[in-house]
Amino acid sequence: MSRAPQMRTPMRRVRGLGAAHSGTGHFWHQRVTSAAGVVLTIALVVIAISLLGRNHAAAVQILGSSPVAVIMLLFIINSAYHMWIGMQEIILDYVHEDKLKLLALMANTFFVVAVAAAACFAILKLSFGV
């Protein structure tokens, strides 16, 4: 029997935790990483401007100094998680074919983890010296 369209979301679908099967946790994490992102973005802009016009040695010294390195690591990790959730949301909105969706979600994870790991490693290398 065919069902009439429903305006209410069936509870069993909510229990199924949505298209990514991960519930409302990401919604909240998106907010937390956004709030942290405001502070970290302002800090990043200040750091970037302070490096303008300096040579490599000076850039290494600034980027590797403890407070700057910690802020850079926080910016990278916070942004990585935030953009991972955000891109997942975009994928779930536009990609509906199961296999393609799975591939896109995997690609999202690989991209974010690879970029964030490489960037974090660079900061740590700068900080601990070669």
Partner 1 sequence: MAELEASTNQGARRARPLSPHLQIYRPMLTMMMSIVHRITGAALYFGMLLLAWWVIAAAAGPNAYANFERFIGSLIGQLLLFGYTWALMHHMLGGIRHLIWDTLHGLEPAERETLTLTTIVGSIALTLAIWVIGYLAMGGPR
And the tokens for 89?
């949301």
Give min distance, CB of 30 to ligand HEM, in A: 5
Cα separation, 40 vs 87, in Å, equals 20
Residues 22, 24, 34, 50: which binds ligand HEM (CB under 6 A)? 34
Is residue 109 a contact residue for partner 1 (CB under 8 A)?
Answer: no
Paired tokens of 13: 């679908």
**Region of 10-18, 99-107, 116-124 interacting with partner 1 (CB under 8 A):** 116-124
How far is it, in rounded angstroms, from Cα 116 to Cα 73?
Answer: 9
Nearest Cα to 123, choosing from 49, 67, 69? Answer: 69
| Contact (CB, 8 A) for 26 and 85 | yes
Enumerate residues 46-105 that contact ligand HEM by CB under 6 A.
Answer: 79, 82-83, 86-87, 89-90
Interacting residues toward ligand HEM by CB under 6 A: 30, 34, 37-38, 41, 79, 82-83, 86-87, 89-90
